[in-house]
Amino acid sequence: MHKTLLIILAIFSVTFVFSQDEDSYVYGDTQSNNSDSKFSGNGFDWERVTVGGGLGLTFGTFTIIEISPTFGYYLTDNVLAGIGGNYTYYEDKTINFNTSLYGGRVFGEYIFQDLPILLHTEAEMINIEVGLNERLNIYNLYVGGGFKQQIGATSYFYLLGLWNLNETKESFYIQPNPIIRAGVAIGL
């Protein structure tokens, strides 16, 4: 429990360090003269919400089907925080083995306005099968960054390179470092 709390605090502290620029726009700040803000209004704003995620398909001797939806909310023009889920079906026909992996994540991103790059932090919990009718929760803390291709004011494709700071023997078999991830974030 303490480990999970520390991971979540680490993600948000790293994310908010980048958002503490004295001259930057802060959502809800009526004193700011920043006319470049892509958002307007007070309180919850559906224009600040993004949905997206990734989909992975591999067929052949190894079959891997991965679905990972995400939901995010722009806290400022540059800081996106969100949650996501993950389900992976894995089958190895050479040894007649199949299993399902599932879990969730919380993440934070700092998105540069005039550059096609972003910084990403994430805490993830994945449940895996480790024996006959035995499952194990693995906690991963990822940091990294990547490239984005803007497809609208709040939508973009992304390609991330992440490093698992909490790599264990079990997480190494699932995804060894570095982790490469691609997906889409669609603004509503």
Q: pLDDT tens across 1-10, in order?
A: 555 544 544 4
Decide if 70 contacts 86 (C-beta within 8 A): no
* DSSP codes joined into one string, 90-119: EEETTTTEEEEEEEEEEEEEEE-SSSSEEE
Alpha-carbon span 86 to 68, nearest angstrom: 4
What count of other Cβ atoms lies within 10 Å of the Cβ of residue 57? 9
Highest mean pLDDT, choosing among 22-26, 60-64, 94-98, 102-106? 102-106
Measure CA of the first residue to CA of the last residue in the chain; give whole Å: 34
DSSP state of 58: E
> Tell me: the pLDDT tens digits for 73-86?
999 989 999 999 99
Mean pLDDT of 115-139: 90
Residue-level pLDDT at 166: 86
Of 103, 112, 118, nearest in space to 77 by CA: 112
Decide if 85 contacts 101 (C-beta within 8 A): no
Mean pLDDT of 39-63: 82
Alpha-carbon span 73 to 111, nearest angstrom: 12
Q: Is the pLDDT of residue 40 over 70?
A: no
Q: Is the pLDDT of residue 106 over 70?
A: yes
Q: Mean pLDDT for the chain?
A: 80
Decide if 31 contacts 22 (C-beta within 8 A): no
Q: Is the pLDDT of residue 173 over 60?
A: yes
Q: Is the pLDDT of residue 23 over 50?
A: no
- What domains lie within the chain, and their CATH numbers? 2-20+50-187 (2.40.160.20)
Q: Is the pLDDT of residue 24 over 60?
A: no
Q: Percent of the chain at pLDDT above 90?
A: 35
Residue-level pLDDT at 32: 45
User: φ, ψ for residue 32 (rounded to 5)?
Assistant: -70, 140
Mean pLDDT of 21-34: 47
Residue-level pLDDT at 42: 67
Tokens of 169: 């023997």
Q: 47 or 36: whose pLDDT is higher? A: 47
